[in-house]
Amino acid sequence: MSKALRLSEKWFRFGLWIVAFVFASFLIGLGGTIVENLPKVEHHYTQEDFIDQPQAEQARGAIKQTQKTRQEAQDKLEQARLGHNAARANSASARDTFNNWLATRHVTQRAEQDPELIARTQQLDALKAAERKALSEVEAQQQILLDAQQAEARAQRQLRELEQAAAEQLATGQRSQELRVFLYRLTLTLPLLGIAGWLFAKKRKSTYWPFVWGFIYFALFAFFVELVPYLPSYGGYVRYVVGIVITVLVGRQAIVSLNRYLEKQKQAESLPDVERRKELSYDTALARLAKKVCPGCERPVDLANTAIDYCPHCGICLFDHCGQCNERKSAFARFCHACGAAARAIS
Ligand SMILES: [Zn+2]
Ligand SMILES: [Zn+2]
pLDDT tens digits, residue range 226-277?
Answer: 777 767 777 778 888 888 999 999 999 999 999 999 998 888 888 888 888 8
- 130 close to 94: Cβ distance less than 8 angstroms: no
Cα(318) to centroid of ligand 1, in Å? Answer: 9
Evaluated on CA atoms 335, 340, 345, 347, the torsion sign reads positive
- 154 close to 115: Cβ distance less than 8 angstroms: no
β-bridge mates for residue 317, sequence order = 310
Please report, in angstroms and rounded to a whole number, the separation of the first and last CA atoms in the chain: 21
Cα(303) to centroid of ligand 1, in Å? Answer: 12
pLDDT tens digits, residue range 39-97?
Answer: 666 777 888 888 888 989 999 999 999 999 999 999 999 999 999 999 999 999 999 99
Could you say which ligand is closest to the alpha carbon of residue 340?
A: 2
Is 345 a residue whose pLDDT tops 60?
no
Distance CA 220, CA 276 (A): 39
pLDDT tens digits, residue range 155-168?
Answer: 999 999 999 999 99
Cα(279) to centroid of ligand 2, in Å? Answer: 25
Cα(344) to centroid of ligand 2, in Å? Answer: 11
Cα(338) to centroid of ligand 1, in Å? Answer: 26
Cα(81) to centroid of ligand 2, in Å? Answer: 130
The strand pair at 319-321 and 328-330 is best described as: antiparallel
Cα(253) to centroid of ligand 1, in Å? Answer: 26
- Ion ligand 2: residue ranges with CB closer than 5 A: 322, 324-325, 327, 336, 338-339, 341
Check residue 80 and give its pLDDT: 93
Cα(313) to centroid of ligand 1, in Å? Answer: 5
Confidence of residue 126 (pLDDT cuts 50, 70, 90): very high
- Buried b / exposed e along 177-213 (16+ C-beta atoms within 10 A): ebeebbebbbebbbebbeebbebbeebeeeeebbbbb
Higher pLDDT, 7 or 145: 145
Confidence of residue 107 (pLDDT cuts 50, 70, 90): confident
Check residue 4 and give its pLDDT: 57
Check residue 92 and give its pLDDT: 92
Check residue 347 and give its pLDDT: 37
